[in-house]
Structure 1
Amino acid sequence: MWMHWGNRRFFRIYCPDLIVHPVLDCPDAVDKILPWLERLHVIVFGPGLGRDPKIIETATNLLKLCLSAKKPIVIDADGLFILNDNIDLIYGHSNVILTPNAIEFRRLFGEDINVTRHKISLLGDGIVILEKGLNDKIYISQTNEIYIMPSGGSGRRCGGQGDLLSGSLATFLYWSLQSNQPNPVYLAACASSYFIKRLNYASFQKLGRSTVASDMINEIYTVFRNDFES
């Protein structure tokens, strides 16, 4: 299940398929959200969150609550902004995936390779970093291993492509956990990186430079069937 807390009217008009609960800006937002958490399989933090101080404060408290409840979590976009000065929030937790682009990665872990390795090593073995780029990179915190994924996904990099990555990560993470796969966060990161690049490639072959994120969504059925189910 996926939920977004924001402007309900806007999102319901734009996409009636979404379940939207507009409570993130309420003073008692965390208390209102708490009863729903048990029903949620994976929580995605960040896309569309914004940086209003009150929203950030509420989202930070909600993140702490989800971590204490041991919920699987994907953190992207403005969710990563929360971690810039609070990376220790996720230390030692399991089933957490971070999805920074190159700039967000440097903000989180610095530019000096030794500092970067040290900061990543502190995360713990249940956390994976998927750095987005022409070649996505997957960082395994405990071993300092870096896996370079095949290039692609940038025939035309669409606005919203990162959101598709976050959503697919949540889905693959849940499936990996349900099927008791070893290292589910790593498996989910590999599968989602590959999947989104394949969606982009399939869309770009048809529409070229006019490709947008919704065109990638239209390719989900075919790409998933051909690359995963077959």
Structure 2
Amino acid sequence: MSEAIVSIENVTKRFDARAVLEDISLKIAPGEMVAIMGSSGGGKTTLLRCISGLIIPTKGQVIVDGIDVNAEPEEARRRMGMVFQSAALFDFMTVEANVLFGIKRQLKLSKTEQMKVAAEALARVGLEGNEHKMPAELSGGMRKRVGIARALALSPKVMLYDEPTTGLDPITTYTIDALMLQLRKEFGMTSLIVSHDVSSVFRTADRVAFLHGGRLVFVGTPAEFAEADDENIQELVQKSRAEKMSLDN
């Protein structure tokens, strides 16, 4: 692996006496797409928030593009784009205003330049012509794409996706998967994806990191993940492939 753009080193996170993450270490290469999977409560979203600087680990270190996230969270976040599970759009703002929100805060541009960056970001996710719509007028997939456009507008080196396909139908899920791959191809950006969707992960990820009980129990390719001996992984893979449910003992 080439020099890591994201380096997670011995990260532990406790809330009171409960350890949500325990001694997590993982290195991610530039341009790599890594899926973070695991059972509910396994620590996936907590790990993503530690990487983004929204949560400070109890112990350990996260380095993004040479920046210590714990010491300089704002500087590190300038290198990252965050796509939240629910898209986290401001319902009282238009699509355009949602995308402009981060641009106005972080980029020193004229109003004309700001509008141009927003329009380009929306065009890249296939939403040109929707600038003046309100979030309530959009489908779930369109809302997700607005969230991606908002992050993309800041030209991040690393994209963090929290359950990007949750609640979407299979066709829309496939469209979002294709968009994430296209953005990686076009901009060479590194992607970390928290997901429960095995099919989506197998289509998109270079590697899978699996968390169980707050510990990192597997890191490998999707093919290796499908054949892993871990019983929790096997249960997830087998149930995702089940074509018909049987209640027989």
Q: TM over 0.5, yes or no?
A: no
| TM-score in terms of structure 1 length | 0.30
Rg larger for: 2
Structure having the larger proportion of residues in strand? 2
Q: Which has the higher contact order (CA 8 A, sep 6+)?
A: 2
